[in-house]
C-alpha cells in the first residue's frame, strides 16, 4: 500500500485529493496538512511513501517544504500538484529541491493517482505541458553545437537517451526508437544519473534543458 500525505492550504482541494487517494485499492491516506511546516512535521512523524504537495501556501511554501522533506526523509517521494505548470521557474525550483514530479491541479483524477504511483516507483514525472514550457524557456540555450561540461562524462548513447528522456519519451518509446531493450534503456538512464549526480528522471529532464542539450521543436 502506498501511504500518501496530502498538503494544500485550500480545504476543498485538500479534501478532494484525500478522497481520491482513499478510494484507490493500492493507496491509503496517511494524513493531510495545510502548510509547509505542517507537512514537514507530519512527514517526519508519519513517514508517508508519497507527499502530494501544493506550491504556494502560508507559513512555508511547498518548494521549501519539499527541500526539507527530501533532505531529512530520503525515503519519501514528493509529487507537486500545482496550478503553476505554465511557470517553468517553479518546475526548476521544485526539481532542484528534490521533487520527483509535477502534475497540474486540472489533471483528470486518473492522471493524478497514476502520477502518485509513478513517483512511488522511483520514477520522475513531468507532464507534457510542463515539459513544453521548459522547452520554451530554454529555447535560447540549445543549438550551440558544444556539449556542456556537465555532460562530457556521458557516452554518445547516454546522450541520445538523455535527449529522448527530456523530450518526454517513455522507456518503451526510447527502446523502440533506438532498437534496444527496455532493460538496456533503464541501465543507461541509471548510469547517466550516477555520472551527472541526479537521482531521478525529472532532474535529468531539467539538466538537459539547462545544458542546452534539447533543441526546442516549437515555440
Q: Say if residues 219 and 148 touch (Cβ distance below 8 Å).
A: no
- 188-213, pLDDT tens digit by residue? 999 999 999 888 887 888 888 778 78
Please give the model's pTM, rounded to 2 decimal places: 0.68
* CATH T-level fold of 2-133: Rossmann fold (3.40.50)
Ranges in the chain annotated CATH 3.40.50.2300:
2-133
Q: 8: Cβ–Cβ under 8 A, 6 or more apart, which residues?
A: 14, 17, 32, 34, 52, 54, 57, 81
Residue 88 has pLDDT above 80, yes or no: no
Ranges in the chain annotated CATH 1.10.10.10:
143-210
Q: Say if residues 8 and 57 touch (Cβ distance below 8 Å).
A: yes
- Rounded CA-CA distance 166/181 in Å is 19
In the CATH scheme, what architecture does the domain 143-210 have? Orthogonal Bundle (1.10)
Highest-confidence segment of 4-18, 80-94, 135-149, 152-166: 4-18
Q: Say if residues 5 and 14 touch (Cβ distance below 8 Å).
A: no
Q: 128: Cβ–Cβ under 8 A, 6 or more apart, which residues?
A: 168
Alpha helix positions (H), the chain: 11-22, 36-46, 62-72, 88-96, 109-120, 128-137, 156-166, 171-178, 182-196, 201-210
- 136-175, pLDDT tens digit by residue? 555 544 444 567 788 889 998 999 899 888 877 888 889 9
Q: How confident is the model at residue 94 (pLDDT cuts 50, 70, 90)?
A: confident
Amino acid at each position: 500500500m502506498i501511504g500518501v500525505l496530502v498538503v494544500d492550504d485550500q480545504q476543498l482541494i485538500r479534501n478532494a485529493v484525500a478522497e481520491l487517494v482513499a478510494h484507490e485499492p493500492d493507496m491509503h491516506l496517511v494524513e493531510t496538512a495545510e502548510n509547509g511546516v505542517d507537512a514537514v512535521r507530519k512527514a517526519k512523524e508519519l513517514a508517508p511513501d508519497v507527499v502530494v504537495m501544493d506550491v504556494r501556501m502560508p507559513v512555508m511554501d511547498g518548494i521549501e517544504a519539499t527541500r526539507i522533506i527530501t533532505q531529512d526523509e530520503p525515503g519519501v517521494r514528493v509529487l507537486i500538484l500545482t496550478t503553476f505548470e505554465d511557470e517553468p521557474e517553479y518546475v526548476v525550483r521544485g526539481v532542484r529541491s528534490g521533487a520527483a514530479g509535477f502534475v497540474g491541479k486540472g489533471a483528470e483524477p486518473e492522471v493524478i493517482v497514476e502520477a502518485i504511483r509513478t513517483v512511488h516507483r522511483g520514477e520522475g514525472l513531468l507532464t507534457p505541458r510542463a515539459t513544453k514550457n521548459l522547452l520554451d524557456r530554454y529555447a535560447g540555450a540549445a543549438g550551440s553545437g558544444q556539449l556542456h561540461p556537465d555532460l562530457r562524462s556521458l557516452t554518445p548513447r547516454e546522450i541520445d537517451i538523455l535527449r529522448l528522456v527530456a523530450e518526454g519519451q517513455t522507456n518503451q518509446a526510447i527502446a523502440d526508437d533506438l532498437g534496444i531493450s527496455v532493460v538496456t534503456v533503464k541501465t543507461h538512464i541509471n548510469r547517466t544519473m550516477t555520472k551527472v549526480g541526479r537521482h531521478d528522471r525529472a532532474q535529468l529532464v531539467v539538466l538537459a534543458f539547462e545544458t542546452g542539450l534539447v533543441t526546442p521543436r516549437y515555440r
